[in-house]
Chains A and B, each alone.
Chain A
Amino acid sequence: ETGVTQTPRHLVMGMTNKKSLKCEQHLGHNAMYWYKQSAKKPLELMFVYNFKEQTENNSVPSRFSPECPNSSHLFLHLHTLQPEDSALYLCASSQAGGIDTQYFGPGTRLTVL
């Protein structure tokens, strides 16, 4: 596997379920990001981890809980979500420090019923 991978690619869950999204990067980067992509809206940055430490929480509701056990893996734990949370959730990584490209995974299409 190369680049940034995300699993699952599609997820349907009820509002009372608990699920987790997984992201893995194989690029040797040390910064990882969660974004939410909704139709006709800019990409919304949710969380940033830099060398495994959370450096940004963009006023995200507590029903979204990130976890970064190491520089290669990032999780997004979901519980008691709302239908308006349905979106494409994208993971990205970059080499922290200076200008560098963010590399995105293919995303997880989440539907909350």
Chain B
Amino acid sequence: QQQVKQSPQSLIVQKGGISIINCAYENTAFDYFPWYQQFPGKGPALLIAIRPDVSEKKEGRFTISFNKSAKQFSLHIMDSQPGDSATYFCAASKSGGYQKVTFGTGTKLQVIP
């Protein structure tokens, strides 16, 4: 019940295209859904996050779409750039106290020129 399932495992997108990564969760108590971006040799860094009271959140070229009834959320990267090439992790957690975050398995994105 604590799992967060992420797909695809890897993704190749042409420059200027849209990258889409999907995640599904099971625990309905989760109320915070962040996406992390990790470059080689670095730790994950928060990219964008959403609460379940909204269905979409946009920050620049990055958009989270959230479907509470389906228990699914996705990351869309518009106008993908080679600099976006990284591994992306979705995650979910419950508010209150320290954060015990459940992470997806990651998606390795490669944006080719």
Please list 8 pairs of residues, one from A and one from B, whose beta carbons are closer than 8 Å in the complex, sorted by A's number: A42-B103, A42-B105, A43-B103, A48-B98, A50-B97, A102-B99, A103-B46, A104-B44
- Chain A residues with CB below 8 A from B95, complex form: 98-99
Query: A101: nearest residue on chain B (CB-CB)?
Result: B46
CB neighbors of A among B75-105 (8 A): 89, 93, 95-105
* Residue B42 is within 8 A (CB to CB) of chain A in the complex: yes
* Residue A31 is within 8 A (CB to CB) of chain B in the complex: yes
- Chain A residues with CB below 8 A from B104, complex form: 42
Contact of A106 with B98 at beta-carbon distance under 8 Å, contacts A42-B103, A42-B105, A99-B32 already known: no
**Count of A residues near B, CB < 8 Å?**
26
Indicate if the CB atoms of B102 and A42 lie closer than 8 Å.
yes
Contact of A105 with B9 at beta-carbon distance under 8 Å, contacts A48-B100, A98-B95 already known: no
Interface residue ranges, B against A (CB under 8 Å): 4, 9, 31-32, 34, 36, 41-46, 49, 51, 89, 93, 95-106
Q: Tell me the dominant secondary structure on chain B's binding face.
A: loop
**Total A-B pairs, Cβ < 8 A:** 63
Nearest first, the 7 closest Cβ-Cβ pairs linking A and B are: A104-B43, A43-B103, A31-B98, A42-B103, A96-B98, A99-B95, A50-B98
Interface residue ranges, A against B (CB under 8 Å): 4, 31, 40-43, 45, 48, 50, 55-56, 90, 92, 94, 96-107
The 8 Å CB contact of A40, one of B34, B44, B97, B105, is: B105
Indicate if the CB atoms of A31 and B43 lie closer than 8 Å.
no
- Chain A residues with CB below 8 A from B89, complex form: 42-43
Query: A88: nearest residue on chain B (CB-CB)?
Result: B43
Indicate if the CB atoms of A40 and B9 lie closer than 8 Å.
yes
Residue of B41, B43, B49, B101 ringed by the most chain A CB atoms within 10 A = B43
- Chain B residues with CB below 8 A from A90, complex form: 43-44
The 8 Å CB contact of A106, one of B9, B31, B41, B97, is: B41
Contact of A41 with B105 at beta-carbon distance under 8 Å, contacts A4-B43, A90-B43, A98-B96 already known: yes
A60 to chain B, nearest CB (A): 14
Contact of A102 with B101 at beta-carbon distance under 8 Å, contacts A40-B9, A92-B43 already known: yes
